[in-house]
Amino acid sequence: MTQLPGLLDTEAIRKDFPVLDRLVHDDRKLVYLDNAATSQKPRQVLDALSEYYERYNANVHRGVHVLAEEATALYEGARDKVAAFINAPSRDEVIFTKNASESLNLVANMLGWADEPYRVDHETEIVITEMEHHSNIVPWQLLAQRTGAKLKWFGLTDDGRLDLSRIDEIITEKTKIVSFVLVSNILGTVNPVEAIVRRAQEVGALVCVDASQAAPHMPLDVQALQADFVAFTGHKMCGPTGIGVLWGRQELLEDLPPFLGGGEMIETVSMHSSTYAPAPHKFEAGTPPIAQAVGLGAAIDYLGSIGMDRILAHEHALTEYAVKRLAEVPDLRIIGPTTAEDRGAAISFTLGDIHPHDVGQVLDEQGIAVRVGHHCARPVCLRYGIPATTRASFYLYSTPAEIDALVEGLEHVRNFFG
Amino acid sequence: MKLDSMYQEVILDHYKNPHGRGLRDGDAEVHHVNPTCGDEITLRVKYDGTTISDVSYEGQGCSISQASASVLNELLVGKELAEAQKIQETFLELMQSKGKIEPDDAMEDVLEDAVAFAGVSKYPARVKCALLSWMAWKDATAQALDGADAERKTA
């Protein structure tokens, strides 16, 4: 077996993930390389979910009975865990949403309805990048269409990085918000946050960071990022689906208006008007995803027990190995950085003229799960003149043997369509 | 191997040597996409009265979507509209069967090469690929005939 420096004890870790033992297509060992789409869940998270429903289930912040109080303590305890996980200055800066898309839509809507100095209107500009997931493009397009604001973006270099050469022309005095991805879900690129934040701060623009592909894979420190908002989702980091996070700076959350109205987010309501609860509850209308928040808390405990820095080192070693092995496959072209430097563990590629859909199908027959398509980042495909890519993405339980299986599988694909 | 039920030889042949590919003169043009995977097709239909004189297309996509467009061209060009609609409906029925329809001789007579797609119907993610060009043809035909109706009315 290939041994690489920095690898985790995957044999032990994989025992925590029941689904990784599954055989598919009768007798094939599952090789799960679709972690950028969603991660698998460890037993510890599955147990936390069922334990919550079996022992505590109640609505939160509403009852005086014992279950309601315990459920509330678990839900708010999960908020504490998230706050610690991202080094938030205050737990009240952590808003639970249903996913990263909702988090980003929430920011866009806060700014659309805000008063000065945050308000996005027809005299102002929004800046994103060409490598965003659709969830960090479409909310801003909607905001621009509704307010008349101008939408601008950073283009990409040929080697899959942000082209910041015209940063002073793109981020200007008119810019109200700069929203960009920390780690690209399609290219794997890790973006230079500091350079963008520095320019945004010069012109007084807010900064929103989509950390969906970062939070699961590396230490995330919102204070070090110096952003104003950070969004991510639970299901990519061993948590359940249906739970996301928006972190926002406290003073902003105090000033900005709510988006969704309903129970939980109010202070008093009359038939004429309402006043609102303080953040984070101001932004959590209705019964929240309680069990899912508890599950996310368990996922954070799990990741913490291994250590985010060790997970980062593990994935870096795997990525180095993967780019080296993939380079051996004839006609394979990596879309994105071709080395492991400033790169996450999602690797997109094309294989000659064979369409990714066909690549994915033949790999699936061998038990290898990858993602094919445009990965909700169609502008990236357009930029590189390709219809789609095949993407292999790794996580803490991925092994060099699985990368070997992928490389062998691709050989089979080439023979099949050759 | 199960894969062979999807990637029948006849499908791979159409994929590697597509019939009638390329855009030519038409009465209507449509552009259809499959947003989940990025398959795209631009398709034109040309009618001579109610006879299909040409179906031309250009697109990008997987072997299934490309082969399906090629089969469509081979099957429909030269047919009367009513017969073509019957073929389209039969193909749709087969593709929506989730692998439960075993094509009989009557179906084979109607579908000819298109019967090879029966195996694809077992793969829900790929059914849309197989249907992309057929839905585009249906749409383009509706537009072409609407246009012809409108012309007759204004003439």
Spatial distance between the Cα atoms of A176 and A174, rounded to a whole number of angstroms? 6
Among A230-244, A282-296, A340-354, B111-125, the range scoring the smallest mean pLDDT is B111-125
Q: Which residue has the higher pLDDT, A344 or B146?
A: A344
* Residue range A152-169: mean pLDDT, rounded: 98
In this prediction, residue A267 carries a pLDDT of: 92
CATH class of A10-32+307-416: alpha beta
Catalytic residues of A: 376
> Angle, to 10 degrees, between the axis of helix B63-76 and the axis of helix A356-365?
110
> Angle, to 10 degrees, between the axis of helix A138-147 and the axis of helix A100-113?
20
Task: Please choose, from the candidates A74, A52, A50, the residue with its C-alpha nearest in 3D space to the C-alpha of residue A61.
Answer: A74
pLDDT exceeds cutoff 70 at A1: no
Q: pTM of the predicted model, to two decimals? A: 0.94
CB A345 within 8 A of CB A317: no
CB A126 within 8 A of CB A120: yes
In this prediction, residue A238 carries a pLDDT of: 98
In this prediction, residue A2 carries a pLDDT of: 76
Q: Which among A25, A372, A417 has CB closest to B37?
A: A372
Nearest CA in chain B to A362: B3
- The number of beta carbons lying within 10 Å of the beta carbon of residue A267 is 11
* Residue range A62-70: mean pLDDT, rounded: 92
B103 CB near a chain A CB, below 8 Å?
no
pLDDT exceeds cutoff 70 at B155: no
pLDDT exceeds cutoff 80 at A304: yes
pLDDT exceeds cutoff 70 at B152: no
Percent of chain A with pLDDT over 90: 96
Q: For the CA atoms of A45, A50, A51, A57, what is the dihedral angle to 10 degrees?
A: 120
Q: Which helix (H) or strand (E) holds B141?
A: helix B124-154
Spatial distance between the Cα atoms of A372 and A379, rounded to a whole number of angstroms? 15
B40, A387: Cβ pair inside 8 Å? Answer: yes
* Banded model confidence at residue B34, pLDDT cuts 50, 70, 90: confident
Among A70-79, A195-204, A394-403, B31-40, the range scoring the smallest mean pLDDT is B31-40
CATH class of A46-304: alpha beta
pLDDT exceeds cutoff 70 at B154: no
**What's the helix, strand, coil split of chain B in %, to 5?**
60, 20, 25
φ/ψ region of A385 (left if φ > 0, alpha if ψ in -120 to 50, else beta) reads: left
Q: Which two tokens stand for residue B130?
A: 């197989």
How many angstroms separate the Cα of A331 from the Cα of each of A242, A351, A352, A355? 39, 6, 5, 13
Distance from CA of A245 to the nearest CA of B (A): 26
Per-residue pLDDT tens digits for B133-145: 999 999 999 999 8
Mean pLDDT of chain A, nearest integer = 97
A365 CB near a chain B CB, below 8 Å?
yes
Nearest CA in chain A to B11: A417
Per-residue pLDDT tens digits for A72-130: 999 999 999 999 999 999 999 999 999 999 999 999 999 999 999 999 999 999 999 99
Per-residue pLDDT tens digits for B64-75: 999 999 999 999
A357, B36: Cβ pair inside 8 Å? Answer: no
Per-residue pLDDT tens digits for B84-116: 999 999 999 999 999 888 899 999 999 999 999
Per-residue pLDDT tens digits for A10-61: 999 999 999 999 999 989 999 999 999 999 999 999 999 999 999 999 999 8
* Banded model confidence at residue B151, pLDDT cuts 50, 70, 90: low
Q: How many residues does chain B have?
A: 155
Comma-separated ranges of CATH 3.40.640.10 domains in chain A: 46-304
Q: Which residues pair with A348 in a beta bridge?
A: A335, A391
B38, A361: Cβ pair inside 8 Å? Answer: no
Percent of chain B with pLDDT over 70: 95
In this prediction, residue B38 carries a pLDDT of: 76
Comma-separated ranges of CATH 3.90.1150.10 domains in chain A: 10-32+307-416
In this prediction, residue A3 carries a pLDDT of: 80
